[in-house]
Amino acid sequence: MDRRDVLKLGLAGAGIAALGGCSPLAARYAVQEDPALPLPPRDVEPEVRLLNRLGFGGRPGDIARVAAAGQGAFVAEQLAAEQKEDVRLDLLLAGLDIFSMKGDEIEDIHKEQVLFELQRADLLCAVYGRNQLFERMTDFWLNHFNIYALKTDSAFRLAGDTRKVVRANALGKFPDVLRASAHSPAMLGYLDNTSNKSGVPNENYARELMELHTLGVHGGYTQRDVMEVARCLTGWTVEDRFLHPRGQFRFNPDVHDAGSKEVLGQTIPAGGGQGDGERVLDILAKHPATAKHLSTKLCREFLGKEDPAWIDRMSSAYLASGGDLREMLRPLLTSQDLLTAPPIAKRPLDFVASSLRATNANTDCGQAVVDHVTRMGQGPQLWPMPDGYPEKAAAWSGSMLGRWNFALALAGGKLAGTNIGMEASRKPIEEILGRHGGADDLLGPTVNGLNTPEAAALCLASPEFQWR
C-alpha cells in the first residue's frame, strides 16, 4: 500500500471499531503481522522534532514559538522548568482526592477510584504541563522505577511516590531520586522488602535495585552481591504499628542483619544499622556501570538509539557532576544529532497526549480518555513487571486499531469530558496538517470533501503522527 492507502485504512479502521470493534473485519485489522508501526515517509521539521522529543508534542502556535527562540533557547527554557503552569491543570489536579488527603486518609477511598485518579493525573500533566521536558522525564522515571498499582497496597502509596520520589527529582540528581525511591513505601512494598529480615532475607528489591535501577543487567554484579545488598537492606520496611504514622518508611533495627557485608568489593562494617543500606545506595550511585546504564536509557529515550559516543559523553558528565541530569541532557538536547536521529514510536499514552495537545483540546482526561489508553495497552501504573512498559515499536504494533478509534472519537466529539470544538479546532487541525508538509502533500485528493473532524481524524491516524 502507498501512504494514502494506509491513511484511508486508518480512518476506515477507526470507523469499524466505533461501529463494532468485535466484528471479524475489525479483528482482522487488529492482528496485523507487521511487527512495527508504519514508518513516516519523510523527516519532520526541527521544531516538531524538538517538541516531540522533549515533551508530548506541540500545541497550536508552539512551532512558531520554538522557531523564533531557536533550539538552544528552547532547550534552556525546558531544562529550567520554571514556567508557570496552566491554571486548568492546577484546578483539575486540585479536584483529585489523592492530592487533597493526607496519610492513611487515602485508604478510605476505594482502590479503583485511587487508581483512576492516579491515571488521570498522569494524563493531565502530560497534556497541560507547560514544562514539557519535566513531564517527559517524569514519565521516564515512572517507568524506570515502575510500581504496579494493583499489587497489595501500592495504589494507595503511589500518589506520595509520584510526588516525593519522581516529580521532586525529575530533573535533579540521580542519587537523590534513587535514595527517595529506596525510602518509598510504595517501592518497598511492591518489591517485597517489607519481608526482608535477618535470617530470612528477601532478595527481590536488592536484585531489581542493581539490575534495573542502577548498574544494569551487565553491570558487573554477582549473585553474591545481590545477597549482600539484601542483607544491608534488612529492616527497611513500612510503618504498620498501632498509634504510629502508618504507611511511611520505617527502619526496624530488630530485624536488621547487623553483621559485616561486602558489596562490589567494598566492605561495610558490622553494626551500621540503617547506614548499611545508605552506604549501598552511595556505592551504586557512584558506580561507572550506573552512569553507563542510565546514559544508555536516556539515549534511547531522546535519540531513539544507543549511540556509543553519546553514551560515553553522558556517562562522563554523570560521574563529573554527581549524576546531575541537566548536565547530562543539555549537550544532547542542543545537538544536531537530536534533530537527525531515527524516529521513535509513540507509546499509547504519548499518542493520546500528543493528539489532545495538537488539537488544542479542552479535556478533563476523565474515564473516557483513560479507557482508551488502557485499551491500547498502556494504562498508567498498570505494568505488572518492575522493568516498566516496553520501548520498542514492535511492542505497540497491536495498538493501531485503538489509535484510529481514539482519533475518530476525539475528532468527532465522542469523548465525554473532552471538546475540541468545530470552529476552535480549525486552526489547530490546519497546523497538524501543515506540520506534515501540508494537506496536499500528506493526504492528496483524499482530504477533498472531508469536513474538519474527518480531516483531523485522518491526520491523527496517519503514519507520521505515530512517531516522535
pLDDT, position 20: 30
Domain of residue 14: give its range. Answer: 3-61+343-466
- Does 29 map to a domain? yes
- Does 354 map to a domain? yes
Which residues does 76 contact at the CB level (< 8 Å), separation at least 6? none
What CA–CA distance (Å, rounded) separates 78 from 55?
9
Contact 338/49 with Cβ under 8 angstroms? yes
β-bridge mates for residue 362, sequence order: 419
If DSSP codes are grouped into helix, strand and coil, which group holds residue 234?
A: coil
- Does 412 map to a domain? yes
pLDDT average, residue stretch 12-19: 31
Number of structural domains in the chain: 1
Cell of 231: 542483607
- Does 310 map to a domain? no
pLDDT in tens, 73-115: 999 999 999 999 999 999 999 999 887 776 566 766 788 999 9
pLDDT average, residue stretch 423-435: 54
Residue 43 has pLDDT above 70, yes or no: no
- Does 285 map to a domain? no
Least confident segment among 83-87, 129-133, 178-182: 83-87
What CA–CA distance (Å, rounded) separates 51 from 465?
13
Which residues does 203 contact at the CB level (< 8 Å), separation at least 6? 196, 226, 227, 230
pLDDT, position 239: 95
**Per-residue pLDDT band at 427 (split at 50, 70, 90):** low
Residue 287 has pLDDT above 70, yes or no: yes
Instruction: Report the percent of the chain where pLDDT is more than 70.
Output: 82
- Does 156 map to a domain? no
pLDDT average, residue stretch 417-440: 58
- Does 366 map to a domain? yes
**Per-residue pLDDT band at 16 (split at 50, 70, 90):** very low
Distance of CA 164 to the CA centre of its chain: 16
pLDDT average, residue stretch 391-396: 91
Residue 457 has pLDDT above 60, yes or no: yes
The long-range contacts involving 426-434, CB below 8 angstroms and separated by at least 24 positions, are 426/452, 427/60, 428/59, 428/60, 428/358, 428/359, 428/360, 429/359, 429/455, 429/456, 429/459, 431/60, 431/63, 431/358, 432/358, 432/359, 432/456, 432/459, 432/460, 432/465, 433/459
- Does 221 map to a domain? no
**Per-residue pLDDT band at 206 (split at 50, 70, 90):** very high
What CA–CA distance (Å, rounded) separates 91 from 86?
9
What CA–CA distance (Å, rounded) separates 365 from 353?
9
- Count how many Cα atoms sit within 13 Å of the Cα of residue 90 in the half-sphere of its side chain: 5
> What distance, in Å, lies between the first and last C-alpha atoms of the chain?
23
Distance of CA 311 to the CA centre of its chain: 21
